[in-house]
Amino acid sequence: MINTLLELKEVSYVNKNNFTLKNISLKIKSGEKIALLGKSGAGKTTLISILNGTIKPNKGKVKLFNTEFDKLNLYQKSKISTIWQDLRLIEDLSAEQNVNCGLLGKRSFLFAFKNLLNISSFKKAHQYMKVCNLQKSIFSKNIRKISGGQKQRVAIARSLIQESDILLADEPFNNLDPKITLNIKNLLLINKNKIKVPNTTLVSLHRLDLLNDFNRIIGMKYGEILFDLEKTKLKKSHLNMIY
Amino acid sequence: MNKLKLNPSSITFLAILVCLPLAYELFINFHIGGIELFKEFVISAFNPKINNEIIFTLVKRLNETFLIAFSSWLISIIFGIFFGILSSEIFYKILNLPIFLRSFLNLFLTFIRSIHELIWGLILMQIYGINFSIGIIAICLPFIAINAKVFSEQIENINHKTIESIKQINGTKSSTLLTLVWAPILKTYKNYGLYRLECAIRSTAVLGLFGVGGIGTSIFLCFQTLNFRELWTYLWGLAFLIIISKELLKKFNLSKTSEKFLTYFIIALFCISLFSLYFFVYFIFNKNAIPFNSINNFLISNFSLISYDFLKLLLETIVLCLLSTGITISFPPICILIFNNKIGIKIIRSISFLFRLIPPPVLILILLMFNDPSISLAAITLGLHNAAITSKLLLVNLHNQDNKQYIAMKSLGVSKRSSWLLGSFVKQANSYLAYCAYRSDIIIRETAILGVIGSVGLGWQLQESLSSFAWEEVIIILFAYSSIAIIGELINGKIKSNLA
């Protein structure tokens, strides 16, 4: 039997900026590789924010490991990691310090303190940075001083180092060149490296040429899920519905 | 004719209008009785007295000044950071604590910082007698509250999305908080914390004028005996101390130090925090304190405060603040506009350094050589001292900004002054005015200094009440000071947010 890791039950959300989700029900099972499609403003980012517990829905329930979000402890919550569309890195820290921040869920206060003083071990951070195609020369560089694509990979490394069970990624291939895009996609979906990568992944994206390694596709428009099907069943008519 | 449009640039220049009543009163009160003294004072600046005895005294006094200033600076930075975190919203959000605790703490800190260090010093001196520790505690009290406000404002600027992303990693609450506040605290320390040492040195000098010790005491004694050559030896010594301490601290870069050094540094900080806390507690409960029995009178007092013209003094203090703020805002851009060339700017820099260096009580005593005591004289003293500080900031910001527009305007054949005004200053006007709004908060507190030396406003009454141990009056004056400062802070906060 396949476990349900994340579940949304009749979730609706309206905020002051009118980003809305209308009555969404969704189950994410262990091992699924889900692509989330939709035009800009369709509600993909809002859905991801609800899935990781950052925003609370106005209506409906969100469950992780069959437990409501409010009742989860920190350890359980740390089983979800997110790559944000706007990256949300700490600008005044270096790339490796930012990646090490991903370990905060598993380490003590002393680790956080040493990381900020730049005296903690960066061995693990460097390992993850390398698989994200980041060169050694940028490891200790300040986030402000690196390019958009490098920042994107730092954010990816930060979320992977969490070694979570579920990865939610909001347009993670932005700013990346075609070769690196392919590498990162392979890393997230068919990991052949020695590092641990989440087994379950939901990725919001715009590029249809990157859909081949996903096994489930969800299409959204105006805050509603218009289709939710296996990759093999995706037809052009489905795409016409959302674009 | 079109209506006058108020914008940051026009407001900056319109503030010069305060000079009309000021100039009138100064003109009426003008006399040349002290011209010879003033001449001697100016000449002495280039011919300070140097001999073994004076050098020995200077070094001793500088040591005392540095010890008081450095101790109070370090303690106020450590506790300022601590209270800055405690008074920021993010602390209560991450630790899920009730937000009303923050409001209580902020109110308490606002009260503490609304009272100038000189007033704290005078009160503590009345209670505990003249004591070396007075200087440190008197400076620490408002400085901790001021630093807490600045650190808290910077922590509040953290992007809420960054907060969400770090919270989402689900580390312990203490790790999350530390990771988020670390960078803004370090940045504020570098941009603002180091400057506070200069402020602490100047405040120590001012407290010294009232007997706390350090270089200020020597400066005041020299002024009283009109020994201007020796006075200038001490003033130049003070300048040397400010410059050297600033340069030394600039060299101390936390991020480039070794692991071992950092560990010692953190242990030292921890020890200082514990020691200073012990010091505060010990000082307050020290049994050697002079008993201030008269505070009991407060409870049985009939508040015969109507006997003196309390409202008049209150009004004088407010007028003094407004006039000084007008000078502080308008003088620097007008001077730069008029003397807009390399030599002119150098002269402005040198003069503003002198006005920053000479403590306001000494400055007003110098100006009294030409003028009778009045609100205008106090206003021009306070205004010039603060204009010297705002001019430094304006010149630094103008120097650092991109001057493409200035070059473009000059290439069109526009005059140098007009190009500076429209191509350079307009870009700075907003942030300059926002800083002046912050500066006016400080001016409100500084009115106490001039009042205390017998000029005008509530400070004068405070000195009288303190001298006669009339604690009921002291408390009411403190309350009045605090109210003016808090109202001023609220108005300035509104102005700053509108400008932002």
Domain spans of chain A? 1-79+165-243, 90-163
- B187–A104 C-beta distance less than 8 A: no
* Neighbour count for residue B75 (Cβ, 10 Å): 24
Per-residue pLDDT of chain B (500 residues; tens, 9 = 90+): 566 666 777 888 888 888 888 888 888 888 888 888 888 999 999 999 888 899 999 999 999 999 999 999 999 999 999 999 999 999 998 888 898 899 899 989 988 888 888 888 888 888 887 777 888 999 999 999 999 998 998 898 888 888 888 888 888 889 999 999 998 888 888 778 888 888 899 899 988 888 888 888 899 889 888 889 999 999 999 999 988 888 887 776 666 666 677 777 778 877 887 887 777 777 766 655 555 444 445 445 445 554 556 777 778 888 888 899 999 999 999 999 899 888 999 999 999 998 988 888 888 888 888 888 888 888 999 999 999 999 998 998 888 888 788 888 777 777 888 888 888 888 888 888 888 888 888 888 888 777 766 556 777 777 777 777 777 778 888 887 788 888 887 887 777 777 66
Query: What's the gap between Cα B441 and its chain centre?
Result: 9
Chain B residues in contact with A78 by the CB 8 A cut-off are: 169-171
| pLDDT, tens only, A75-114 | 888 889 999 998 889 888 899 999 999 998 888 888 888 8
- B186–A104 C-beta distance less than 8 A: no
Cβ pairs bridging A and B (under 8 Å)? 81
Which amino acid would we find at residue B113? R
* Neighbour count for residue B343 (Cβ, 10 Å): 8
| A52, A86, A105: residue with CB nearest B171 | A105
CA distance A102 to B169: 6
- SS3 (DSSP) at B30: strand
Domains delineated in chain B: 14-37+308-500 (1.10.3720.10), 48-291 (1.10.3720.10)
Strands (E), chain A: 4-14, 20-29, 33-38, 59-64, 67-68, 80-83, 166-170, 200-204, 216-221, 224-230
* CA closest to A53 among chain B residues: B168
- B262–A54 C-beta distance less than 8 A: no
Report the candidate in A8, A5, A61, A2 with the shortest Cα–Cα distance to residue A225: A8
* Chain A residues interacting with chain B (CB cutoff of 8 angstroms): 52-54, 74-75, 77-78, 80-82, 84, 86, 88-93, 101-102, 104-105, 107-109, 111-113, 115-119, 162
pLDDT of the residue at A2: 52
Element of type H or E holding B469: none
Report the candidate in B79, B85, B158 with the shortest Cα–Cα distance to residue A93: B158
| A54, A91, A117: residue with CB nearest B168 | A54
- A81–B169 C-beta distance less than 8 A: yes
Place of tokens 């680790």: A111
Chain B residues in contact with A111 by the CB 8 A cut-off are: 175
- SS3 (DSSP) at A25: strand
Chain A residues in contact with B267 by the CB 8 A cut-off are: none
* CA closest to A110 among chain B residues: B175
- A113–B168 C-beta distance less than 8 A: no
Chain A residues in contact with B170 by the CB 8 A cut-off are: 74-75, 77-78, 104-105
CA distance B411 to B40: 48
- B186–A92 C-beta distance less than 8 A: yes
Examine the pLDDT at A9 and tell me if it is beyond 70.
Answer: yes
pLDDT of the residue at B5: 63
What is the dihedral sign for C-alpha B446, B451, B456, B458? Answer: positive
Backbone φ and ψ for B177, nearest 5 degrees, come out as: -65, -45
Residue from B95, B157, B164, B168 whose CB has the most chain A CBs within 10 Å, to mutate: B168
| pLDDT, tens only, A41-72 | 889 999 999 998 888 898 999 998 888 888 88
Q: What is the CA radius of gyration of chain A?
A: 18
| pLDDT, tens only, A152-165 | 999 999 999 999 99
- B259–A82 C-beta distance less than 8 A: no
| pLDDT, tens only, A203-241 | 999 888 889 889 999 999 989 999 999 988 988 888 888
Which residues have C-beta within 8 Å of that of residue B460, sequence separation ≥ 6?
B313, B451, B452, B454
- B169–A102 C-beta distance less than 8 A: yes
Place of tokens 């369709």: A42
Residue from A46, A62, A84, A101 whose CB has the most chain B CBs within 10 Å, to mutate: A101
- SS3 (DSSP) at B364: helix
pLDDT of the residue at B348: 93
Altogether, the residues listed in chain A come to a count of 243
C-alpha distances (whole Å) from B353 to each of B356, B393, B484 are 5, 12, 29
- A115–B162 C-beta distance less than 8 A: no
Altogether, the residues listed in chain B come to a count of 500
CA distance A5 to A200: 9
Torsion angle, alpha carbons of B472, B478, B484, B489, to 10: -150
Query: What's the gap between Cα A109 and its chain centre?
Result: 25
| B165, B168, B262: residue with CB nearest A117 | B262
CA distance B491 to B485: 10
Chain B residues in contact with A89 by the CB 8 A cut-off are: 162
Task: Say if the ipTM goes beyond 0.90.
Answer: no
- B172–A115 C-beta distance less than 8 A: no
Helices (H), B46-130: 52-86, 89-95, 100-114, 117-128
- SS3 (DSSP) at B259: helix
Chain A residues in contact with B183 by the CB 8 A cut-off are: 90-93
DSSP A28-86: EETT-EEEEEE-TTSSHHHHHHHHTTSS--SEEEEEETTEEGGG--HHHHTTEEEE-TT
- SS3 (DSSP) at B262: helix
pLDDT of the residue at B455: 58
Cα of B250 to nearest chain A Cα, Å? 19
Report the candidate in B269, B273, B258, B374 with the shortest Cα–Cα distance to residue B316: B374
- A104–B176 C-beta distance less than 8 A: yes
- SS3 (DSSP) at B155: helix
* CA closest to B180 among chain A residues: A90
Chain B residues in contact with A121 by the CB 8 A cut-off are: none
CA distance B110 to B199: 19
Cα of B155 to nearest chain A Cα, Å? 13
Burial label for B31, CB within 10 Å (0-12, 13-18, 19+), is exposed
Chain A residues in contact with B167 by the CB 8 A cut-off are: 54
pLDDT of the residue at B133: 82
Cα of A89 to nearest chain B Cα, Å? 7
* CA closest to A164 among chain B residues: B169
Cα of A54 to nearest chain B Cα, Å? 7
Strand ranges across the sheet with A59-64: A20-29, A4-14, A59-64, A67-68
Bridge partners, residue A230, by sequence: A216
What is the dihedral sign for C-alpha B480, B484, B486, B487? Answer: positive
* CA closest to A78 among chain B residues: B170
- B171–A112 C-beta distance less than 8 A: yes
Chain B residues in contact with A156 by the CB 8 A cut-off are: none
Q: B366 and B41 in contact (C-beta within 8 Å)?
A: yes
CA distance A208 to A225: 18
When the candidates are 3.40.190.10, 2.60.120.280, 3.40.50.300, 3.40.50.1860, the CATH number that belongs to A1-79+165-243 is 3.40.50.300
Global confidence as pTM = 0.80
